A and B are shown apart, each in its own frame.
Chain A
């Protein structure tokens, strides 16, 4: 089995299980508060890491290229409360434009 199919099948099965767990097993009963406060912070921590790595990450190095102005433009669009679709389009257009002009 290829690496791609391994990832697709395992991630699919685990995600289906995670989504099903609460509704299938629970008759109520909240998580312990200590577990909740940790899990709630997973999303911001991971999303911030994804922003950083996808903006500045290279092949085992940090690099500043046309992605950075695109993401900065996206940040301005987010600040202006633009819809997510517009935010992504702004980032793509700015990055594509900077690439076109800088080769």
Chain B
């Protein structure tokens, strides 16, 4: 994004830009709190998880695996694999974070998909003040929503009665579509879904999702193909 006025963006610009997303994130925080209660995670653990992990899809994955009786190892592995993208994302913002170690640590923890995207200024540069403003806004929304969801989970009752179990695949689908840039991503998604469905009848809950991560190895083959980047001959 190039700003013709060339005014340097600051914290409040990050807050403003992320406000509509923050409302949605708060809504997901509520539904995470509700699902976590339904998955027998108790009241404090989901809130602590939102405060420390602060990553929607990983928390939903861990909660849904625990909810269907999956193993601790498969819940941890699925959540960690879902958060692995924060490795390269952290690498991408690193050159823009020039403060002391505690400042870089704080910015790193507030770097999630939405704050990262909003802070991008092109050519690999990120605005740390926008990142901080957007990140704090999302953090308050996510943790606050989780508290509300945990608190009112009992009032809402069985989440599946309200169709909230369908909200998870819908959310993952929306996040997935945003990731489907290019044929490699589409192929990895199709193979991942295929592996997961094929293994579901034969393995403990959670294992199909972990096994599906092997689909990312398509990247090695696609990388060899990448320089060609043209349709195969008929």
Contact = CB atoms under 8 A, between A and B. Distances in A.
Q: Is the interface of B mostly helix, strand, loop or mixed?
A: helix
Interface residues of A, number: 77
Contacts of B88: 22, 31, 36, 39-40
Contacts of A83: 20, 24
A23 B160 contact: no
Interface in B41-93: 41-42, 45-46, 48-49, 52-55, 57-62, 64, 66, 68, 72, 75-76, 78-93
A43 B134 CA distance: 22
A41 B185 contact: yes
Interface string A13-54: 111101111111011101101101111111111111111111
Contact of B76 (A11, A16, A78): A11
A53 B209 contact: yes
B170 A47 contact: no
Contacts of A23: 90, 93-94, 97, 104-105, 107-108, 111
A54 B220 contact: no
Contacts of A26: 91, 94-95
Contact of A61 (B91, B162, B200): B200
Contacts of A27: 94
A31 B91 CA distance: 8
Nearest to A52: B193
B223 A41 contact: no
A82 to B, nearest CB: 9
A94 B82 CA distance: 28
A22 B85 CA distance: 11
Contacts of B203: 60
A29 to B, nearest CB: 8
Interface string B17-47: 0001001100110010000000011100110
B117 interface: no
Contact of A44 (B61, B90, B93, B192): B192
A88 B27 CA distance: 10
Contact of B212 (A14, A15, A48, A55): A48
Nearest to A61: B201
A14 B166 contact: no
B164 interface: yes
Contacts of A46: 61, 78, 81-82, 192, 209, 212-213
B208 A53 contact: yes
B178 to A, nearest CB: 9
Given A23-B97, A42-B216, A96-B162, A85 B23 contact: yes
19 contacts: A4-B41, A7-B76, A14-B80, A15-B79, A23-B108, A23-B111, A41-B222, A45-B214, A46-B82, A49-B192, A49-B195, A50-B61, A52-B197, A74-B166, A84-B174, A88-B170, A89-B167, A95-B166, A96-B163
